Amino acid sequence: MITYFPGPAKVYPQVRQYLTDAYDAGVLSISHRSDAFVDISRRTIALLKEKLAVPADYTVLYVSSATESWEIIPQSLVRAQSLHLYSGAFGERGFQYAHYLHEGALPYVLAVDEAPDPAALPVDAHTELIALAQNETSNGTQVRPEVIAQLRRAFPEPLLAVDATSSMAGIALPFAEADVWYASVQKCFGLPAGLGVLICSPRAVARAQALHEQRHYNSLLKLLAQIEKYQTNYTPNVLGIYLLGRVLAQMPPVAELDVHIKARAAQLYATVEALPYAQPLVRNAAVRSDTVVAVEADSALIADVKAQAKAAGMLLGSGYGTWKTTTFRIANFPALTDDEINRVQAFLRQYVPVAQTS
């Protein structure tokens, strides 16, 4: 069965060997204070910066998940007020976690086909942080690098925090244009769940120091203090960190991946646009995701196409949130091969809705 779910997603097939290697090398039992761990961690962080083109002066931290980053960011980088732009379920959940901590966390809801327009945003002198999802996995939209750069130019003061959970390690990201970037490894990294990365600019680090928030086990200051030694202040997912290092070592530079993934995305959208029974959920091509393609049709048909795909050995990603029954999603993640991406397109082209066969 090939899974096209956008997370947990297909893992790179090499992970099977890496798991065995980890066991044989004793990685599963090493102390997170040992030189062996520090070596793995140092190498993993260096590879992540190299392969993903993260600026040298940014700091890479380990967390458990993107959800943890939703909490760490408002907890450790905001005193009172932040602005959260979103069009879907993941962006909204990030806003909710911020709002639990600060009444001054404000939502700014975008339509699915709408790109954020800096001139329209209610940013004022009290806005300490602007949050957005670069790739909104629930509806297959993205905020393009140019728009992130526009936001940075329009609002140089607030920190810019970007959820890149379902795009990091798939497409090239403009790290220098924002202060905080985060992801989990079960999406484009092609790894099993249980590890996240949180990447901070020097400005974000300075903000954490200025706020000096250290009441939580995952206070940014505590994570920052330990990562200077390539360590964490709790026992981390050592296996996950090891696997991340191995996958990064095998990965081409992100600029190369970017070209490949975007070419496949263009094909996928062209295929879906030509289907008589469905269409891309996102009509505005300028905000369509490259890594998660959401396909819309009536809900009876969605259920049938998923069932027929499953019978043919393909697990289409279910719809999510508002779009649960009226869409399915196809992950265009790097661990899926070109053959697998072609195969799902061939299936969609030859699929005949059940009502029309009788």
Ligand X SMILES: *Cc1c(COP(=O)(O)O)cnc(C)c1O
Closest CB to ligand X among 71 and 304? 71
- Sites for ligand X among residues 229-288 (CB under 6 A): none
Closest CB to ligand X among 75 and 271? 75
Residue from 139, 184, 237, 271 binding ligand X (CB under 6 A): 184
90: helix, strand or coil: helix
Q: Helical H runs in 232-275?
A: 238-250, 254-273
User: For 115, which DSSP code?
Assistant: P
Does 139 engage in binding with ligand X (CB under 6 A)? no
Does 332 engage in binding with ligand X (CB under 6 A)? no
**Contact predicate 191/185, CB 8 Å:** yes
**DSSP H or E stretch at residue 40:** helix 35-52
**DSSP H or E stretch at residue 225:** helix 220-227
Nearest-approach distance from CB 1 to ligand X, in angstroms: 21
Does 66 engage in binding with ligand X (CB under 6 A)? yes
Enter the tokens of residue 339.
């053959």
Residue from 4, 18, 90, 95 binding ligand X (CB under 6 A): 90
Cross-strand pairs, 134: none
Does 166 engage in binding with ligand X (CB under 6 A)? yes
Task: Describe the chain by its helix, strand, coil percentages, rounded to 5.
Answer: 45, 15, 40
Catalogue the E-assigned strands of 118-179: 129-133, 135-136, 141-142, 159-163
Residue from 38, 43, 46, 67 binding ligand X (CB under 6 A): 67
Q: Select from 64-72, 142-150, 200-208, 230-238 the region that touches ligand X (CB under 6 A).
A: 64-72
**Between 290 and 329, how does the x/- string for binding to ligand X read (CB under 6 A)?**
----------------------------------------
Does 7 engage in binding with ligand X (CB under 6 A)? yes
Nearest-approach distance from CB 9 to ligand X, in angstroms: 10
Determine the number of helices (DSSP H) and then strands (DSSP E) in the chain: 12, 15
What's the CA gap between 231 and 62, in Å, rounded?
A: 9
**Between 190 and 229, how does the x/- string for binding to ligand X read (CB under 6 A)?**
------x---------------------------------
Does 65 engage in binding with ligand X (CB under 6 A)? yes
**Contact predicate 114/85, CB 8 Å:** no
Identity of the amino acid at 113: D
Q: Select from 119-127, 162-170, 255-263, 274-282 the region that touches ligand X (CB under 6 A).
A: 162-170
ω into 8 cis (within 30 of 0): yes
Where along the sequence are the contacts to ligand X (CB under 6 A)?
Answer: 7, 65-67, 90, 133, 137, 163, 165-166, 184, 187, 196
